[in-house]
Amino acid sequence: MTEKPAIRWHNTDSDILVIKNISVVLKAMADNVAIYPDPNPPLADIQLALDNFSAAVRTVGRSPADTINKNSLRKVLTSQVRLLASYVTVACKGSLANLILSGFPPQKGKASPWAYRPSRKDWWSSMANILGS
């Protein structure tokens, strides 16, 4: 079975959770260069998009233009993370262990050999604790 990273959280999580979760992915990918040697897009590009989005989240509420800007920056960031998830799908070579080391939660399959997979909230909390974020 080909393991794939879950990406639906990009659309459903709050801005703060998106920032936290993408930070976990970036740290995990940086810590596992042996598995993910040449991420596409580069982690530096995603970090820049994350920094821009984080700054926009801090300033939102001052005007409608700020909200529009924040939403645009979120779309840019999440599109880059989707591309990174595609890279991870190929680079992990079907290994669940390698996928987990990327920081992305695994996509739940229809016939999972695991009896339990943590909820998204449990997954991110455990990854943040493991990575010390």
The domain locations on the chain are 9-131
Pick the more confident residue, 10 or 84.
84
Report CA torsion sign: 101, 106, 111, 115.
positive
Q: Report how far apart the first and last C-alpha atoms of the chain are (Å, whole number).
A: 31
Q: Would you state the pLDDT for residue 127?
A: 66
Stretch 41-51: mean pLDDT: 96
* Per-chain mean pLDDT for the chain: 84
Check whether 84 has a pLDDT greater than 60: yes
Q: What is the pTM of this model?
A: 0.76
Stretch 109-133: mean pLDDT: 61
User: Which residue do the tokens 């987990």 mark?
Assistant: 100
What are the backbone angles phi and psi of residue 24, rounded to the nearest 5°?
A: -60, -45
